[in-house]
Structure 1
Amino acid sequence: MLDKRIMTLSEKNNKFLKYNTMKFLGLPLPPLLLRCHDPSLEVSTTRGYTLIPRMMMSNIRVFAIPIDIQMSISQRQYPSDRASSHTYTTTNNNNNNAGDIHIATCNGDDNCVTNMVNRTRELLWCKDDQGNIPLHLALEKGHKKIAMYLIKEFPQGSYALNQFEKSPLYLGVVNDHKDLVDFMLANLANDKEATKNIGKGKSILLPAITAKNQEMVQVIMKHRPKLIKPTNKGNNEELSPLSCAAHNGLTDIIGLFLSKYPDLAHKDYSYPIHKACIGGHVDILKMFHTRCPNYFTKPNENGLTILHLAAKEPNNKLKDVVSYLLRLPERTKLLKMEDQTNRTPLKLARYIGNNEVAEMMEP
């Protein structure tokens, strides 16, 4: 039955019949697929593609193209006119100039970058082997002139993610390029999906907060205040911007956040008031109590209130926090609440051996 579909290949018409065989079997082939460089290897290659022997009978060979090669050609995507649709997969393999623009960007050659983009606009969103578009490299290397040009030409590139889930915005924050971060966010002013897309990668607020860079925080808040809203419901492992600021004792940043969203702590599942308590920041606890006193009796996922946390910290470390909490109107309720092991804060302090704290809570 096989001889009805495939003719016997002779040395004279080997290439011609191979091509027709593959075409007859419905395999998608590049035009010059049958350029065989070394028949003795039993593998034919052309243009960097490899034909893999799939079946051999006497002098009959059937080849197939690896699927991943076909996909790399067929799945190339370009940006649409809608700002909400951005999947850019052009790579060095798909564009001969892709590597050149990355090199020119790293070298700070703004004229070369401009000329290449003018010739081939798709280079703006082409990626290197680490998923970086040219704007990533401009921010990482600190080439501000190139960065501003790339931002103007392709604003959505500001939140494009590389393989490490880092965007150019993130790199701008980490490298303290306040002017470029401000410029990127300003150019995204009309992008309704920007806040959502920025939130898909690593937070741009957390590194600014951790570095206690209040000016950078203000730049971000000026353009995208909704980025402070927590998105990690049910996940206490990653701090929200509010919890990060509370844990680090950043009163000015906490004040800035709460001025925008006074009830923010109620909706934050990373427990910012608990983080302020653990950090021993009484001044921040006072700020929270002014705006959301009811939150002070809310237990965390382990059933621990802020008084539990202060009571169990070894060596009476948080006795100042305990002293403050015991002066609040919520004192009585806090003292009566039990954790998941049915311990009140007083019992927990005695169990840990915090005698000073225990004495403060005794009737």
Structure 2
Amino acid sequence: MVALERAEFDPGHGNGQSILYLNVALMVITNILMILRLYVRGVMAKSLGWDDLLAVVAWGLVVAFSCIEIVLLTKGVGYHLQDVPKETLFQLLSLFPVDKLVFISAGGFVRLSILACLPRLNRDRSFMTCAYGAFVATIITAVTSFLFVLLSCSPVSDVFNAAKPDRQCVSKYSLSRMRWAHSIISTILNIVIFGLCIWVSSSTNRTRAKVINMTLMLLLGLFAVVSTITRLILLLTTNMNVDITYTSLRVAPFFSLEINAGLWCGCLSAFQPLFEWTNNHYYNHYNMRKLSRSSAHDPLNDSWHRDYMTANPHVSIHGQPRDLKGDRMASDADGFAMLDNERGIKLTMEFSVHVEDRVYTGERSEDIVSRTPAWNAF
């Protein structure tokens, strides 16, 4: 009797504590990344799109799935079947279809959010064709699996009422085959999406910010693919109809890891403006420090510099033309605006070449050259 009470009211003594801690940690990380994503897209870049809407829907479904996984721990998951009271077992079996429907929906929206974000990074025609093909395949897979589970009993309300006797439902064998088919197709789709991410990373300009962003995105994508393959192997090698409350504990972590890692991958692809802003901020800060170290003395006070400026009146420093005395000219008509990353000294030299017909005076070329401004400057 003590075991029965523990199974129903005291999940802290079961074997599902690792699932509890895992889902709590995943929810915290997912919430932080999604809030940061919406801030970057909505406030910094001001470029919210359909991919962000799909990601918000996926966010709600992923968090809901983690909450359902935690609730299932209070209904007997992690205990052996004989230790779970009959009423609690019926509640658990009634929640399983809800868990499946939310997982199918969450996985579908996570994949759609990633596929909708990829065209922002690559608009190549062949790439767009593959992305749209994966998009359509994801919708078909998610809708078909969702409807199969939802309509597995007649009437539909019996799907969520395992305690009702004489239910008109499909066999457990058919449900297992559907679960396997959905897992296999999901694995293929995840591999295809991962391949599209590699395609994007190899075709974009490899700045430092983009390399970091793409590397993290590919690592998370690889982790999601590995989680999907592991989940598929466990489903194919585990008999879920025997001691279902305990055997489901083996597969449970990989469901949460797969959809959360996929959502994180989509968030990283949306963090491109943040990585670019960080890279530009670091670059400008580095240039300012470099300029401050190299500008310990004022070049205008140097005698060579004054002579050089006198001989070359059209030299401009920092985009400001100077007169023969080396002072700044009042007019900046010939100047130019510097970019944010051009914090150093820019020299602009103007040359004017004139060809004239002249009468030969008998002077040597050395005498003529010695009187030119270029020779004096040298």
Give 1 or 2 for the bigger CA radius of gyration: 2
Superposition TM-score, scaled by structure 2 size: 0.20
Superposition TM-score, scaled by structure 1 size: 0.20
1 or 2, which has the higher helix percentage? 2
Structure of greater relative contact order (alpha carbons < 8 Å, 6+ residues apart): 2
